Amino acid sequence: MLGVILLSPLLGAVLNGFVVPKANKMLAHLLGVLAIGLSFGSALLLFQQFLAGGGEPSITYVFEWIQAGKLRVPVEFVVDRLSALLLLVVTGIGMLIHIYAGGYMREEKTTFRFFAYLNLFIFMMLLLILANNLLLMFVGWEGVGLCSYLLIGYWYSEGANADAGMKAFLTNRVGDFAFLIGIFMTYRLFGTLSFSELRAVVSSSASFDAYTLQQLTLITICFFGGACGKSAQLPLSIWLPDAMAGPTPVSALIHAATMVTAGIYMMTRLNFLFYLAPFTMEVVAWVGAGTALFAATIAAVQWDIKRVLAYSTVSQLGYMVLACGVGAFDAGVFHVLTHACFKALLFLGAGSVIVAMHHEQDMRKMGGLWRSLPITHALMLIGVLAIIGFPGLAGFFSKDEILWRAYLYPGSGHYLWAVGAFTALLTSFYMVRLLALTFYGKSRLDHHTGKHLHEISSIMWAPLIILALLSIGVGYLGVPGLLAIPGVKPHILADYLEPIFAVHQQVKETWAFAGAHHEPFWEALLMLVSVVLVFLGSSIALFSYARSSQPNLGPWPAPGARLYHLLSNKYWLDELYARFIYSPLGDIGEFLWRIFDIKIINGLLNGLGYTILGISGFASFKMSGSVHRHAIFMIAGMLALLYFLL
């Protein structure tokens, strides 16, 4: 079963890459969808069996991968509650996006390449999820990075796209560097890289000596560094917005629903290490909250429809990381789930708008589209409502859970909540702004585009409807205890995931605040506050962008002008990196090559050579090259030798 799940996307990738005739677009699409469909079907079956079997984790050993010294790394897959769930998400959402992509990429010449990459991505993602040791996870981790690189640069003839791909890969590499160091340290401390063994070691004991704890803090910091790269957290968040250079289905699948959540997945997988490192958790929480706010502010001033969604993704990832940081890994996973549904929906919806607009992404040139694109509009509306946390939709439940758990976090919890809540306000503002600029108000389309505007084909909107339904329904997996909805059990997901969090009982108790059973009054109040904030943000956006016939499409007026400038330049983070890291490195390289290598090292050695040449030149000034003279010298020498010897 596992074999089918894993190998069918790989096979799809290989067939699409090497076998399928290049011109046959239909076949490429069909094959791609079939591969992932098979995988999804098997995953469903597996999940069913898994639940029927009581949800006990099972480990499948495949073959020995690396063995050297004391290190032993087998290819081993684990199916437990976490990976089984994520398996469904990746293959399910992946399948819907594959179907959609067939429509989206209809005008492309090399769809086989596209679907080959996409299938390969699914394979790598599954590897990442199913791996039972850090190194195998790292294979998937880098593998998805590779596919992301290839897909961002899919339209490589455009230099900027190729650059964006490179930027993504390199930024991720910085994170991977930290991840690798984390792996080395783990091996040094525990002598193993296997999750199950690590877990057994860590959860068996309640207290560790100071050295181990200190090492654990360093290790988890390193792993978090890796997560920062992949999940686009500060300070490595810069690559994700640029990654939107890829085709929109790619943005939906890789840069919203699946790959970017790998960081959260990894931290959840290693929760037993993180629980033992409170300092790291504090850092994680604050980085998450900071990123959420940081990206939300930038999203508020973007004009490119995909960029808004990109920054929104960074911001939502910040929420998930925040959840991990406050020890609410289950809430983080919950948000991964809901976010995968509604963000995929939003991206694909945006993709439909872009297709309808003939690849125009600037929202300043849209407006009033709801008349011509009714289906897309309805779907986008559901997506937006879900993400801003409109009561009853998926985002409401998952975001509220995170905020509430952040609030309960001892120490800085209240501040974290405040940051999160303010971000929620911003979220509702920029998402409704997006909706308003695109679909409402007066049409700002140019004449030509307006005439050719057309609703998308059914192959594209059919998957969207499923996603929309999921965006509403998934939330009911995590209904808070406070809102007793008849017929729906509260905390289904949290209860389901409970066995994943395997630390010693004593350690668990120090994090017991994570359980949401105290203070129903405060919980209700905070929930109310966030709902109010959502309405507030939405109304501001509606008021500024939908109602007026001439919305402000330029910089903000005077008091906010400087802020606008700051935000629209993304806090100059890119420029900072370019100025202080990238170009100095280049200068150093140039210096090392042109001055140090050629002049100094080479110069010294050449100098040595010339000195010797000079000496020998002096010695040979009498050498005429005449054969006779050589012969005379030779004979004289021999005679002299003879004389001395006899």
- What kind and span of H or E run contains 58? strand 58-68
If the CB atoms of residues 528 and 641 are measured against other proteins, the closer one turns out to be 641
Taking CB under 8 A as the criterion, the residue among 3, 56, 58, 156 binding other proteins is 156
**Interface with other proteins, residue 624, by CB under 8 A:** yes
**Interface with other proteins, residue 557, by CB under 8 A:** no
Shortest separation between residue 298's beta carbon and other proteins, angstroms: 26
CB of 148 within 8 A of CB of 168?
yes
**CA distances, 78 to each of 7, 15, 84, 137, 497 (Å):** 16, 27, 9, 11, 15
Shortest separation between residue 83's beta carbon and other proteins, angstroms: 19
Only one of the segments 132-140, 256-264, 323-331, 433-441 lies at the binding site for other proteins (rule: CB under 8 A); that segment is: 132-140
Report the 10 Å Cβ neighbour count for 310.
Answer: 25
Shortest separation between residue 81's beta carbon and other proteins, angstroms: 26
Q: Name beta bridge partners: 133.
A: 194
**CA distances, 317 to each of 56, 94, 331, 337, 347 (Å):** 29, 19, 12, 12, 15
Only one of the segments 6-14, 135-143, 388-396, 519-527 lies at the binding site for other proteins (rule: CB under 8 A); that segment is: 135-143
CB of 493 within 8 A of CB of 477?
yes
CB of 176 within 8 A of CB of 231?
no
If the CB atoms of residues 61 and 184 are measured against other proteins, the closer one turns out to be 184
Shortest separation between residue 221's beta carbon and other proteins, angstroms: 13
Q: Which positions ≥6 away from 431 have C-beta within 8 Å?
A: 308, 312, 384, 387, 388, 541
Taking CB under 8 A as the criterion, the residue among 157, 204, 549, 550 binding other proteins is 157
Report the 10 Å Cβ neighbour count for 218.
Answer: 17
CB of 137 within 8 A of CB of 186?
no
**Interface with other proteins, residue 628, by CB under 8 A:** yes
If the CB atoms of residues 109 and 442 are measured against other proteins, the closer one turns out to be 109
Report the 10 Å Cβ neighbour count for 357.
Answer: 22
Instruction: Provide the mask over 66-95, with x wherever binding to other proteins is found by CB under 8 A and - wherever it is not.
Output: xxxxxx------------------------
**Interface with other proteins, residue 14, by CB under 8 A:** no
If the CB atoms of residues 550 and 626 are measured against other proteins, the closer one turns out to be 626
Only one of the segments 94-102, 134-142, 199-207, 455-463 lies at the binding site for other proteins (rule: CB under 8 A); that segment is: 134-142
Only one of the segments 137-145, 258-266, 379-387, 443-451 lies at the binding site for other proteins (rule: CB under 8 A); that segment is: 137-145
Shortest separation between residue 151's beta carbon and other proteins, angstroms: 13
Distance between CA 527 and CA 347 in Å, rounded?
28
Shortest separation between residue 624's beta carbon and other proteins, angstroms: 6
If the CB atoms of residues 571 and 593 are measured against other proteins, the closer one turns out to be 593
Taking CB under 8 A as the criterion, the residue among 12, 32, 92, 153 binding other proteins is 153
Only one of the segments 8-16, 170-178, 271-279, 519-527 lies at the binding site for other proteins (rule: CB under 8 A); that segment is: 170-178
Report the 10 Å Cβ neighbour count for 286.
Answer: 18
If the CB atoms of residues 76 and 401 are measured against other proteins, the closer one turns out to be 76
Report the 10 Å Cβ neighbour count for 493.
Answer: 23
Token pair for 230: 């992949």
CB of 633 within 8 A of CB of 620?
no
If the CB atoms of residues 170 and 561 are measured against other proteins, the closer one turns out to be 170
- Within residues 177-216, the interface with other proteins by CB under 8 A covers 177, 180-181, 183-185, 187-188
**Interface with other proteins, residue 166, by CB under 8 A:** yes
**Interface with other proteins, residue 174, by CB under 8 A:** yes
DSSP-assigned letters across all residues of 322-337: HHHHTT-HHHHHHHHH
**Interface with other proteins, residue 642, by CB under 8 A:** no
> For residues 540-578, b (16+ Cβ closer than 10 Å) or e, as one string?
ebbebbbeeeebeeeebeeeeeeeeeebeebeeebeebe
- Within residues 569-598, the interface with other proteins by CB under 8 A covers 585-586, 588-590, 592-593, 597
CB of 429 within 8 A of CB of 538?
yes
H helix intervals, 53-110: 81-104
CB of 501 within 8 A of CB of 267?
no
**Interface with other proteins, residue 370, by CB under 8 A:** no
**Interface with other proteins, residue 107, by CB under 8 A:** no
Shortest separation between residue 621's beta carbon and other proteins, angstroms: 7
CB of 238 within 8 A of CB of 171?
yes
Residues at the contact surface with other proteins, assessed by CB under 8 A: 63-71, 135, 138-139, 141-143, 146, 149, 153, 156-159, 161-163, 166, 169-170, 173-174, 176-177, 180-181, 183-185, 187-188, 585-586, 588-590, 592-593, 597, 601-602, 605, 609, 616-617, 619-628, 630-632, 635
